[in-house]
Chain A
Amino acid sequence: MTEATLDPRERSSIIRDSLGVGVATGAYGVGFGAVSVAAGLSVAQTCALSLLVFTGASQFALVGVIATGGAPISGALSAMLLGTRNTLYGLRLAPMLQWRGWRRALAAHVLIDESTAMSVTRETTPAARLGFLTTGVSVFVLWNVATCAGAVAGNAIGDPRTYGLDAAVGAAFLALLWPRLHSRRNQVVAVVAAAVALGAVPIVPAGVPVLAAAAVALLAGILTKDQPQEQQP
């Protein structure tokens, strides 16, 4: 990682790409807002979730567990398990971003899939910081605006089942899962996890089946020794 100033062309290219990702991701926020009120959360709770939690898959997990009648605390645990991947992103990014103190504390809130993707491949610290901040802040702003819009719209239309919004929840999860299904191992993990969760549905409290599936991830990690590394920094 070398210290260098950015030339204007690289600078504007990073900003353009990052804003593009921000706009595209913001659109997911509409879906989250609608799904969240369909799950039974209020508009205020839905908007607060996007502000405070701000990591999409975890937010979907929390409202998804609540939608199936699970204890909110089971939803919180599922959400935090999904949030662990942000820790690994942070490990990758820390030496590139090189922030300390309050800057690091603020940057942590916008450490998500998209801001990582738009900064982890940069070659200098200024380029990584610019990609991280532009993406993180634009996704944050648009995600929150879109969440509120989706929540208000979802709330206005009445019984969500009439419009199939309960079916939209599963579709949203599937769209989040889809890019990870390329490898055979992930496909096996997905099928076994679904089977374990469905097997648990009749016998344990709602919300717990999803947590039981996390054990499948742990077991798969122990059983597969030689996972090929996709990329080493």
Chain B
Amino acid sequence: MIWVAMAITGVGCYLLKLAGLSVPPRVLERPLVERVADYIPVALLSALIAVQVFSRGHELGIDARALGLGVAVVLLLLRAPFLVVVSGAALAAALVRLL
């Protein structure tokens, strides 16, 4: 099932790229389309963060992952590079689980 989803994603994402290079601009270049396209990454990434960090199965809760996210916020505010942010969050969660 994962392979099928991967194939769909691969083909779909490629066609989305090719469409941009191929279709006449007036087909898609409308204010509403552009605004929604700007908002989609924001909404999806934010939802992914929330679900990833605060849920397990169908239950909501706060655990070591929330601390990891907090550390990530601090590191981003300090303008740390991507890998530092990601490994800092992992390290914080791993340490708090050791306690």
Q: Do A and B bind each other?
A: yes
Residues of A at under 8 Å CB distance from B? 27-28, 30-31, 35, 41, 45, 48-49, 52-55, 57-58, 60-62, 64-69, 71-73, 75-76, 78-91, 93-95, 97, 99, 104-105, 107-109, 111, 161-178, 180-181, 186, 189-198, 201-203, 206, 209-210, 212-214, 216-218, 220-222, 224, 227
Partner of A111 from the list B17, B59, B73, B86 (CB cut-off 8 Å) is B17
Is the Cβ of A167 less than 8 Å from the Cβ of B69? yes
CB interface residues, B 61-99, toward A, < 8 Å:
64-65, 67-69, 71-73, 76, 81-83, 85-95, 97
Is the Cβ of A31 less than 8 Å from the Cβ of B19? no
Known pairs A91-B25, A104-B21, A214-B40; A72 contacts B5 (CB<8 A): yes
Contacts of B22 on A, CB cut-off 8 Å?
Answer: 90, 94, 104
Residues of B at under 8 Å CB distance from A? 1-10, 12-14, 16-23, 25, 28-29, 31-32, 34-55, 57-60, 64-65, 67-69, 71-73, 76, 81-83, 85-95, 97
Partner of B76 from the list A82, A162, A175 (CB cut-off 8 Å) is A175
Is the Cβ of B5 less than 8 Å from the Cβ of A30? no
Contacts of A163 on B, CB cut-off 8 Å?
Answer: 90, 94
Q: Which 7 pairs, one residue from A and one from B, show the smallest C-beta to C-beta distance?
A: A90-B20, A167-B68, A164-B93, A72-B5, A213-B47, A171-B89, A167-B93
A186 closest partner in B (C-beta) = B42
Contacts of B38 on A, CB cut-off 8 Å?
Answer: 85, 221, 227
B65 to chain A, nearest CB (A): 4
B26 closest partner in A (C-beta) = A91
A165 to B72, CA, bound (A): 13
Is the Cβ of A202 less than 8 Å from the Cβ of B18? no
Is the Cβ of B57 less than 8 Å from the Cβ of A87? no
Is the Cβ of A90 less than 8 Å from the Cβ of B6? no
A30 to B18, CA, bound (A): 27
Known pairs A175-B82, A217-B39, A224-B35; A198 contacts B51 (CB<8 A): yes
